[in-house]
């Protein structure tokens, strides 16, 4: 892998200099006087920095795909590049005040972990899935996910007209120069980059929104009412028209954070509550299915029906709102706990810990203990009902 700086641009070669490819991209034609590959543990990055004569310096974020370009060029099917380390760090923490035009400012890369993939030809559907070490699916993105039309980041004029007609629509209460372009899984032929926000899948139907007390123009992504994944090694799988390819991805904590045993409780509790929430959500579906089976029998056990309806009632999902100040937590649904709401209660108990890598407070630990006890009691009751139905 070679880089070359010239009087007009930067070039790179993946065959020891036999052939050269331009890295100019959106750079002006300018003399590049110095280049440096910033690639070490101190920055946890793999970036190319170019110092120019008269145009400042430019940074090409994440050059790991360039190092694997030969593999992609030879690929006859979808190719997922080995991703660089993802850093669990808060993004966009400045005050929500527009920067004056005379202020010199660079542009940060997208937050989260960057994934690059190559499609030699267009596909009808593509999907990215993230798994933990036990093979549990933590987050799923699909090219068929719903998209907003118009989108405030892509067409603010059209979206402003929508807000005039529907003031309560998502993002209408924030300046439309805040929203970032949406993340989407592309299906067209060529190179694509996607940013995983390092969160679990959100609870369906919970509100999102943007902003609050901080903002970066054109770089504010929707808040996600789900916790951060813990530092560790995960697996990302790309599926394109049924064909799959996987890579491992390492997630590390902000290097400025000192992980103490107290801070470690955040990661332990998050994994525990997420796992329990997943089990509870599955139990709810199973309970509703069992309820229909019991009702369909020639002789209906009304006592069992009543108990199943109590433990797994039908609930209307909360409206997907666009509140601009959603905070960090999902308020736990009111008691009593049921299989329909205990997953939300479990996640709600750990969300207040997601704002910073600080030791949990006594109140936060007590909330987790309370919800975990409610979950254990419900699962014991559910196990007994399943035995009664046999």
Domain ranges within the chain, ordered by starting residue = 1-61, 68-99+109-147+182-257, 261-389
Residue 141: alpha-carbon gap to chain centroid: 9
Count of beta carbons in the 10 Å neighbourhood of residue 99: 11
Close Cβ partners of 310 (under 8 Å, ≥ 6 residues apart)? 338
Residue 209 burial by Cβ neighbours in a 10 Å radius (0-12, 13-18, 19+): buried
Please state the pTM of the whole predicted model: 0.85
- Phi, psi of 16, deg, nearest 5: 60, 30
Which of 193-207, 250-264, 282-296, 319-333 has the highest average model confidence (pLDDT)? 282-296
The answer to whether the CB of 287 falls within 8 A of the CB of 311 is yes
pLDDT value of position 334: 58
Crossing angle of helices 342-350 and 362-389, in 10° steps, is 160
* Residues sharing a CB contact under 8 Å with residue 351, sequence separation 6 or more, in sequence order: 225, 227, 328, 329, 330
Confidence at 96, pLDDT banded by 50, 70, 90: low
Q: Tell me the average pLDDT across 115-136.
A: 95
> Comparing C-alpha atoms, which of 218, 388, 187, 372 is closest to residue 280?
372
pLDDT score recorded for residue 224 = 81
Taking only the tens place, the pLDDT of each residue in 303-344 is 999 999 999 998 765 544 433 333 334 444 456 899 999 998
d(CA 164, CA 177): 16
Question: Regarding the domain delimited by 68-99+109-147+182-257, which CATH topology (the fold level of the hierarchy) does it fall under?
Answer: Immunoglobulin-like (2.60.40)
Question: For 81-108, what is the mean pLDDT?
Answer: 80
Q: What is the mean pLDDT of the chain?
A: 87
Lowest model confidence (mean pLDDT) among 103-117, 258-272, 359-373: 103-117
């Amino acid at each position: 892998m070679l880089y070359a700086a010239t009087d007009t641009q930067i070039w790179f070669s993946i065959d020891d200099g036999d052939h050269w490819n331009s890295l100019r991209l959106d750079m002006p034609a300018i003399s590049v006087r110095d280049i440096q590959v910033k690639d070490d543990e101190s920055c946890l990055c793999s970036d190319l920095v170019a110092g120019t004569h008269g145009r400042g310096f430019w940074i090409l974020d994440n050059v790991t795909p360039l190092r694997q370009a030969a593999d992609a060029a030879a690929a006859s099917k979808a190719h997922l590049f080995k991703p660089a380390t993802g850093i669990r760090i808060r993004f966009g923490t400045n005050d929500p005040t527009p920067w004056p035009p005379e202020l010199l400012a660079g542009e940060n890369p997208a937050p989260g972990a960057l994934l690059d993939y190559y499609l030699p030809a267009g596909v009808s559907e593509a999907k990215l899935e993230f798994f933990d070490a036990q093979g549990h699916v933590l987050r799923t993105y699909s090219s068929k996910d719903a998209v907003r039309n118009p989108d405030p980041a892509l067409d603010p004029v059209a979206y402003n007209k929508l807000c005039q007609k529907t003031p309560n629509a998502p993002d209408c209460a924030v300046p439309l120069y805040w929203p970032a372009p949406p993340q989407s899984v592309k299906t067209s032929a060529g190179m694509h980059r996607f940013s995983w926000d390092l969160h679990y899948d959100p609870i369906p139907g919970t509100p999102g929104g943007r902003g609050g007390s901080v903002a970066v123009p054109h770089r504010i992504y929707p808040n996600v009412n789900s916790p951060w994944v813990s530092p560790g090694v995960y697996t990302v799988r790309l599926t394109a028209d049924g064909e799959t390819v996987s890579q491992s991805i390492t997630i590390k904590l902000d290097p400025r954070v000192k992980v103490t045993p107290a801070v470690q409780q955040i990661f332990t509790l998050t994994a525990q509550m997420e796992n329990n929430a997943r089990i509870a959500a599955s139990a709810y579906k199973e309970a509703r299915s069992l309820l229909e089976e019991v009702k369909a029998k020639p002789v209906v056990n009304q006592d069992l029906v009543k108990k199943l309806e109590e433990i797994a009632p039908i609930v209307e999902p909360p409206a997907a709102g666009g509140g601009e100040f959603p905070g960090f937590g999902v308020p736990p649904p009111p008691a009593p706990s049921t299989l329909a709401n205990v997953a939300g209660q479990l996640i709600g108990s750990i969300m207040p810990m997601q704002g910073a890598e600080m030791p949990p407070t006594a109140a936060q630990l007590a909330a987790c203990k309370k919800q975990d006890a409610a979950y254990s009691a419900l699962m014991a009751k559910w196990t007994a009902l399943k035995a009664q139905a046999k």
